[in-house]
Amino acid sequence: MSHQMRQEEYVSAFSARYCSPEMSSLFSPKKKALLFRELWISLAKAQKKMGLSITDKQIQEMEKASKKIDFDKINAYEKKFRHDVMAHIHAYGDECEVAKPIIHLGATSCYATDNADLIQLKSGLSLLFQKLVQLIDALASIAKKHASDPALSYTHFQPAQPTTIGKRISMWLQDFLLDAKEFKRLIEEIPFLGAKGATGTQASFLALFDGDSHKVQAMEELIAADFGFSNLLPISGQTYTRKLDLQILNALSSFAASAHKIATDIRLLAHEGEFLEPFDKTQVGSSAMPYKRNPIYSERICGLARFAISLSQNGAYTLATQWLERSLDDSSNRRVTIPESFLCIDAILNLWLYILKNPHIDPHISLKNLEKHLPHLSMEPILMESVKRGANRQEIHEKLRKITFESNDNLIDAIVNDKSFGLSRKDVENIAHPKKLIGCAPEQVNSFLKKEVHPFLKNHPVSPLKTHVEI
C-alpha cells in the first residue's frame, strides 16, 4: 500500500502507531496465508506417513511453492467463490500442478482457519508474556530501590497512613505477576484443534484410512507436533470451542484492567509530583500552556485499556451464540476482535516499557508531601502509645478527635500541653517520625520480591526485544 493510499484509507491505529512490527505481522494476511500452507503441508506429510498415496514429489512441490503468495489471485478467487479458504486452496493449487489433487485432503475449512488461529493465539501470548516479564523485572528493580522510602498512602484519594514507594509499586507488581502467570498457563495449555472434519467426527479421515481410527489419531498427533502443541482438543464440532477464545480474551482484559488501574495511579501521583513520566527535551506538553508536563503515556494506556476490556465481551457473546456443531456468525466478529485485542495489549506493554525505562521518581517530594500531613497521620500511634502508658483509650480518642478539629495548626502543642496523654514533645516527635510510621512495608516488599518475584524471574529470564517501538 502506497503512502498516498494510507492517507486516503482507514488504517488501524495499532499497526500504524502503537504496536510492534512482530505483533502486527503475526496477524497479517501474509502470515495467515503462510500458516494455511504450512498446515496443508503438515497434513499431507502426516497422511503420507500413515499410508496414503501421497508422493515425495507432491510434498516437495507444496514446500517449494509455500511462500509464493499471489494475493491478487486469492482476492479474485474469493470474489468468485465467496469463500476465503477455497480461494487460498485454488491459488495454492495453481502453484502446485502435481500436488493440487491432495491439498486439503479430507479437511474442512476450520482445519486451516482454526488451527492457524490457535497458532497465532499461542504465539501472540508468548510475545506478550516476554514483554510482561520485562515489565515485571523493571518494576521489581524500582520496588527494591525504594522499599524503605516513605510516602503518603491514600484511601479515597484522601491522606491515609504512611507507606513506602516500594510498597505501592509492589502492589502494582503483584497484579502484573498474576497476569503473567495466567498468560503462562494459557500458553502451556492451549490445545490444537487437529483434523476433526466437518462436524468433529473425523468421518472423512476415517474413510481415507479404511476405518483405522488409530491412524487418524496418529495423523493428528504428527500435525500437532509440527506446530509445537503437546495437547490436542479431544472433542469439537467443526471448530474448536469458542470457550478458548473467551478464556484468552478474559486474560487480556484482566491485564488491561491492571494496566488501567496502575496508569491511573501514576496520573494521580503525577499531580502530586511523586512519579513523572519520561519527558523528551523537545516534547510539548500543551499547545497553549508551555509549562505543562502531562502524563500522556499513562493516559494513553487508560484509553487503550478500556478498548481492550470492551473487546473481551465479544468472547462471551460469541461462545454463547454458537449453534450446535457450527455457525458462521463468529467468523466476522473474531476476525476483528482477536487481532485488535492482541495488538491493543501489545501497544499497552510497549507504553509501559517506555515509561519504566526512565521514570522520574523523587523520594524527597514523596517525603515532603508526607510531612505536611504527619500531625494527623500520627494520631493513631499517639493513641496507642498513650494507652500503653496507662491512659484510657476512649478518653484519649475523644481528645484527639477534638484536637484535630479545634487545633489544626498546633496539634503537637495541644497534645504535649495536655498532661493526660503522658507524652513529652520528644516522645511525640519520635512517634511522628516517618520511618516509625511505615509499619512492615519494607519487610513486605523484600519478602514479596524474594519469595514471589525473583523465583518467577529466575524461571523466566528477561529476553531482549527484537525491535524498538517508537512511542
Query: Which cell numbers in the block locate residue 118?
Result: 490457535
Catalytic choice (2, 3, 156, 214): 156
Contact 325, 110 (CB under 8 A): no
Q: What letter does residue 254 receive in the DSSP assignment?
A: H
Sequence-ordered list of residues with C-beta below 8 angstroms from that of 456, at least 6 positions apart, any chain: 136, 177, 180, 181
DSSP string for 381-443: HHHHHHHHTT--HHHHHHHHHHHHHH-TT-HHHHHHH-GGG---HHHHHHHT-HHHHSTTHHH
User: What's the alpha-carbon Rg for the chain, to the nearest Å?
Assistant: 30
> What angle, rounded to 10 degrees, do the helices at 84-95 and 109-145 form?
100
Beta bridge partner(s), residue 151: 163
Backbone dihedral angles phi then psi of residue 151, each to the nearest 5 degrees: -150, 160
**Is 360 considered catalytic here?**
no
Catalytic choice (141, 286, 424, 463): 286
**Is 286 considered catalytic here?**
yes
Closest CA to 343 of 15, 6, 7: 15
- Cell 524461571 appears where? 459
Query: Which cell numbers in the block locate residue 199?
Result: 462436524
Contact 167, 147 (CB under 8 A): yes
Beta bridge partner(s), residue 276: 360
Q: Which helix (H) or strand (E) holds 151?
A: strand 150-155
Q: Which helix (H) or strand (E) holds 158?
A: strand 158-164
Backbone dihedral angles phi then psi of residue 24, each to the nearest 5 degrees: -65, -40
| Catalytic sites, residue numbers | 156, 286
